Structure 1
Amino acid sequence: MLVVRFKSSMKQCSNLDMIYFKMLCRTIFEQQGFSTFPVDFHSSIVFIMINNREMKTWKSRMKIGLNSLLESDYIQKKKLPQFVVGVGKFIENVSHMDKSYRTALETIKIQHHLGGRANSCFYEDLHIYRIISLIHKYNDLYEVVMEYLEPVLQYDEKYNGNLLETLKVYLACNGSKKETAQRLFVVRQTLYHRIQKLESLLGEDFMNPEKRLAIEFMIKAYEYLQLQSMENKYVQHDRLRRL
């Protein structure tokens, strides 16, 4: 399933525009070996995509099709409202179509929370964000994040520090002090002081494999929550402005 969700009402588009958009999608994706069956649903168009070629190449062909669509003159000239695309899980059995649809919607939801920072519109590429979204759905994600990061966040807030950013970069550099200092544009002595502070707040074992993995996960989750919070504030502000 491929879902195109418009950021404003589809009623703003003329029927001719929508018909042309669906025909354009059909032409582009047929060239890549897909039969398309569009269905209008609220502010979205749901495309049932039937793969007519080798399964192992479906994703690369889908990417080519999406790039062609987004780079087309019709889209570039903004004939339609802005939209976001979600590509669901590939399924081989038509009876599991609902799973592909649900995962396409989940992809759009994650992209929405990430404020456009998601690096893919394919469900299977979102990896850690799928896990974060699942935890957030069934548990208090903020509470879980605070179990790991609260001391660092409190320190940064109290002293206007940069420990969280230092921690993030240090982990990304696999514990390389030289590379971390270069990325943060600080001298090594400053970095050593920050690492000592991180050890006192998180424990000297924070770079041990299992704990490190958990901390990296919680940093991603914290960023996810921050972006979601910013998006919610923007929506509330926009609603108040329209009153």
Structure 2
Amino acid sequence: MTIYKKNRAYVRLISVDKDFKEVDIISLERAIEAVAIVILKKMGEEEIEKKYKNDFLNDVINGEFKSKETLIERGAFFNIDLNGSYLLFLLSIDSFDYIFSKEFGERKLQTHNILSDLFNVVFNSFFSKSEESIIWSMNKNIFILYPVLKENVNDKNFVKNLSENVAQNIKKKVDKHINEFTISVGVGRFYEDVLNINKSYKEAQESLRIGKLVWGDNNIYHYDDIETYNILMRSGSKEELKGFVQEKLGKLIEHDKKRNSELLDTLEEILNSDGNLRTTAEKMFLHYKTVSYRRDQIEEILGISLNDMEEKFSIYMALKIKQLIQDTI
């Protein structure tokens, strides 16, 4: 029985010692219609219940509750136990707007089914590991609250390893079962008190925002790994950061504009390749001598040596800051 282009049930008509008559087929068709109505009614009730439950969980991660007792009481109404401590994982579909507007267009039903498949993969994966996991979705995101046992909440190394292992596990599962798109995972820091889960949520959001700018899509970003970039963004005004970029990279940017060259891209690729020119040449589909010549040009224009760790670090940070401030201009 197909409902919304998905098989929801199977109905069989079995005869032992006689052939089917037309009245039997008609009876089967009516039975299917009756079952379909029951299934649709049940699905509608479940959707309404899920909406209220999701609204409550969204209030939790947005810090709408000031009393832990009230939060736990409201959770119990939805059969959600929030007495424990949780890690928060934020799963985001990469290039969501482009994929679902360009690739699927008006095929809203197909889009809904694909998102449902993604949720089911995540749910089954986490529920098999811990029945206390709390999972819900909103728009292009899936949220997971993964329980941390009371005896482990003060063990920072254990919690960090747990967060990394869980994130890697779900990423692998989704990559294996979903082919239409990729996902990125943002992980906030761990807070023992569930009232502080909103802090972890904000950190997971920031991890995704900055992590995608620095390292690109289809990855896992932990707040601890992007904190340096976050500090840079908060440490000075946008004008100060733009001034730093201009000081370190301005001459090269101007050279590229005037000559229509690609020295800035080459510099970034050299740094991303740990200074290995052959690797850079392969990534950029260039001859080794071309990359070597470009490196010499870069060093001459900027008045630096890419063999100097301090200078290389400053240039690397300027490149990353340039990416970050471009996103906020």
What is the TM-score of this pair, normalised by structure 2? 0.50
- Asked if the contact 2:134/2:146 (under 8 Å) is kept, the reply is yes
Cα distance, 1:113–1:13 mapped onto 2, change above 3 Å: farther
1:86 aligns with 2:185: yes
Q: Percent identity?
A: 17
Q: 1:170 to 1:186 in 2, by over 3 A?
A: same
Match of 1:66 among 171, 182, 203: 171
Q: Give distance in 2, aligned partners of 1:225 and 1:109.
A: 12
Matched, 1:122 2:122: no
Report the 3-state secondary structure (helix = DSSP H, G, I; strand = E; otherwise coil) of the residue aligned with 1:161. Answer: coil
Please give the secondary structure, in 2, of the residue aligned with 1:187: helix
Which residue in 2 is equivalent to 1:135? 232
Segments of 5+ residues of structure 2 without an aligned counterpart are: 1-87, 101-107, 153-157
Q: CA deviation at 1:97?
A: 2.0
| In 2: Cα distance, 1:112 partner to 1:50 partner | 27
The offset of 1:174, in angstroms, is 5.2
In structure 1, list runs of 5 or more residues that go unmatched. Answer: 233-243
Matching residue's letter, 1:2: F
Task: Name the amino acid aligned to 2:127.
Answer: E
Q: Is the 8 A contact 1:2 1:85 kept in 2?
A: no
Distance 2:202 2:253 in 1: 35
Shift of 1:148: 0.6
Give the corresponding residue for 1:191: 292
Report the CA distance between 1:64 and its aligned residue.
Answer: 1.5
Task: Kindly indicate whether residue 316 of structure 2 is the aligned counterpart of residue 216 of structure 1.
Answer: yes
1:3 paired with 2:101, answer no
The 3-state SS of whatever aligns with 1:87 is strand
2:273, 2:120 → 1: CA distance?
47
Output the amino acid matched with 2:318: M
Contact 2:90 / 2:141 at 8 angstroms: preserved in 1? Answer: yes
C-alpha change, 1:212 and 1:42, in structure 2 (3 Å) is: same
Whether the 8 Å CA contact 1:32–1:65 is kept in 2: the answer is: no
Flag the 1:201–1:41 CA change in 2: closer, same or farther, 3 A.
same
- Give the CA deviation at 1:21: 5.9
* Contact 1:2–1:86, Cα closer than 8 Å, also in 2: yes
Are the counterparts in 2 of residues 142 and 222 from structure 1 also a CA contact under 8 Å? yes
TM-score (norm 1): 0.64
Which segment drifts farther, 173-182 or 202-211?
173-182
Partners of 2:171 and 2:295 in 1: how far apart? Answer: 44
> Secondary structure of the equivalent of 1:35?
coil
8 Å contact 2:252–2:298 — kept in the other structure?
yes
- Counterpart secondary structure, 2:133: strand
Matched, 1:49 2:146: yes
1:30 to 127, 150, 153: 127
Describe the shift of the 1:142–1:169 C-alpha distance in structure 2 as closer, same or farther (beyond 3 A).
same
Alignment partners' CA distance in 2, 1:200 and 1:108: 36
Q: What SS is found at the alignment partner of 2:220?
A: coil
CA distance, structure 2, for counterparts of residue 135 and residue 219 of structure 1: 12
Task: Report if the CA contact (8 A) 2:132-2:147 is conserved.
Answer: yes
Find the residue that maps to 1:49 and give its secondary structure: strand
Question: Which structure has the greater CA radius of gyration?
Answer: 2
Alpha-carbon spacing, 1:122–1:146, altered in 2? closer, same or farther (3 Å)? same
CA–CA distance in 1 between the matches of 2:295 and 2:117?
57
Task: Tell me how far apart the structure 2 counterparts of residues 210 and 99 of structure 1 sit (CA, whole Å).
Answer: 34
Measured after TM superposition, the shift of residue 68 of structure 1 is 1.6
The residue that corresponds to 2:46 in the other structure is none
Q: What's the Cα RMSD here?
A: 4.2
Name the amino acid aligned to 1:89: G
Q: Does the 8 Å CA contact 1:88/1:103 hold for their aligned counterparts?
A: yes
Write the distance in 1 (CA, Å) between the matches of 2:167 and 2:278.
41
